[in-house]
Amino acid sequence: MSHLAALGTYLPTWGEEQDRRPGPDEDAVTLAVAAGRAALGCLDEPDVDQVVLVSRDLPLLEGGNAAALLAGLGLPADLPVTEQVGGCPATLDVLTAAAPGTLVLAADLAPAGAAAALVGSDGLEVLPCARRVGSLPVQSRGRDGVARDYEDARLGWDRGGLAAVSALDLAEKPVVVAGATARQAGVLTRGPAPALPVTGASAALFALAALDDLGETGVAVAVEQASATAVRTGRGTTSLCLARDEPAAQSPATLRETPGPEIAISLAAYARAFDAKLRWEAGACDACGTLALPPRLRCLECGSEEGWSLAPLPRTGSVYTAVTVHVPVPGLPTPYSLAIVELDGVDVRALVKVTGAPAGGTAIGDRGRLVLRRVALRSGIPDYGYALLPTDTDPTTEDI
């Protein structure tokens, strides 16, 4: 049994309300980081000892996603990270077995969404109920990355999901079913089935969030092809902190893809920039404290070359100048907007891309927050950094 102290969700803004798509600068890592930051931002002093990411859309199979996850989440680089390939039953399995201090992340690309649950010593109780592991691979994807569809939806549900749930032999009807369509779920649930915006790994956590929204406890089932896991929730002595970062849906912008050579990368430069760039930290001069982004040997202000230490940067700011690139650029979807942002409360500006808003809508003086995004894919390697997400929040609003 586990207790959930906090639950965070994230949906990219693009697509339909219940069918989101990742932006061109989003992948499973940035989605998971957004959800994770929502969950961690819920608590005053979140206690995280380890991280598990469940997804079938891991950006890198070799090369690793763990360091980017920890950096984006602002967690120390000495935590164990488990990258688990799996769907929503796997997420529930991980959750019920997790020790307090485990941050369980789940992220999906189609439909896109992510959720995070922090397992604590109190909060929403989640008890394992039943599990069925079966095989009916109507959708498959192997080492070649090519997705194949058997194209028999009725077989898939009748002999897959429905059969798996029957095999669970549940004593009571579930309140919510993850991994099924609303219509399929409605046949199984005791009341109207809550609609979930995702069907993959993160659907399990969206289901628990839906239960919490209903103010109910009960059985939640996660289904994936011919496998299913059921859990029962119960109230702890403290309530679950639920934070949703789910902006309204907007139609995906029409972007132009221009083929071209791969964008080159220097892994030496990548490695030098990594901590400052992914943790959003400046170099603070050891002699005078002046902040420099990126960190640099010689202080911008006093000229000291004695050394510097990384210092967190504010994650809100306003636009000093902005432009929109319309001309086709090989390897980058156009149009896109670039902005120089003056960060709140420090003498630091940053040149960043604008995210989560149609290109061209950002003007001098606009406010926004800085969020982790995949700035570019360079020779197959995700190059993460921060982008400006325009907001109308005032500068005192705390960042999540």
Partner 1 sequence: MRRVAMVGAGMTKFKEHFDLGIKELVPMAVSEMAASVDKGLDRSDIEAAWFGELTTSDGFPAGILADSCGLLDIPVTRVENACATGNDAVRNAMYAVASGIVDVALVVGADKVRESSSRSTFWEWAALTRDVAWDYPLGLVAPANFALHAARYLHESGATREHMAMVAVKNHRHALTNPKAQLRFEITVEQVLRAPTVVEPFGLYDCTPQSDGAAAVLLVSEEVADRYTDRPVWVRGVGLGLDRVMHQHKQDMTSFPPTVKAARAAYAMAGIGPADIDVAEVHDCFSAVELISYEDLGFCDRFGAAALVESGATTFEGSRPVNLSGGLKAKGHPPGATGVSQNVELFEQLRGDAHNQLDTPTYALAHNIGGPTAVSAVTILSTEKD
- What does the binding site for partner 1 look like in residue numbers (CB under 8 A)? 258-261, 263-264, 266, 269-270, 272-273, 277, 293-294, 300, 320-327, 329-332, 336, 338, 340, 348-353, 360, 364, 375-376, 378, 383, 385
* Least distance from partner 1 to the Cβ atom of residue 209, Å: 34
Calpha distance 4→49 (Å, rounded): 14
Name which of 157 and 384 has its Cβ closer to partner 1: 384
Angle at Cα 383 formed by Cα 382 and Cα 389, nearest 5°?
A: 110
Residue of 28, 20, 96, 26 lying closest to 56 (CA atoms): 28
Name which of 248 and 327 has its Cβ closer to partner 1: 327
* Least distance from partner 1 to the Cβ atom of residue 305, Å: 17
Name which of 87 and 283 has its Cβ closer to partner 1: 283
Calpha distance 4→79 (Å, rounded): 20
Calpha distance 390→361 (Å, rounded): 9
Name which of 48 and 343 has its Cβ closer to partner 1: 343
What's 247's DSSP letter?
A: P
SS3 122: coil
Contact predicate 386/372, CB 8 Å: yes
* Least distance from partner 1 to the Cβ atom of residue 385, Å: 7
Name which of 96 and 290 has its Cβ closer to partner 1: 290
Name which of 192 and 260 has its Cβ closer to partner 1: 260
Using N-to-C axis directions, what is the helix angle for 203-214 and 88-97, rounded to 10°? 70
Residue of 205, 184, 168 lying closest to 87 (CA atoms): 205
* Least distance from partner 1 to the Cβ atom of residue 347, Å: 10
Contact predicate 132/39, CB 8 Å: no
Cβ neighbour number for residue 264 with a 10 Å cutoff: 7
* Least distance from partner 1 to the Cβ atom of residue 277, Å: 7
Name which of 21 and 349 has its Cβ closer to partner 1: 349
Residue of 278, 271, 270, 245 lying closest to 74 (CA atoms): 278
* Least distance from partner 1 to the Cβ atom of residue 366, Å: 12
* Least distance from partner 1 to the Cβ atom of residue 65, Å: 18
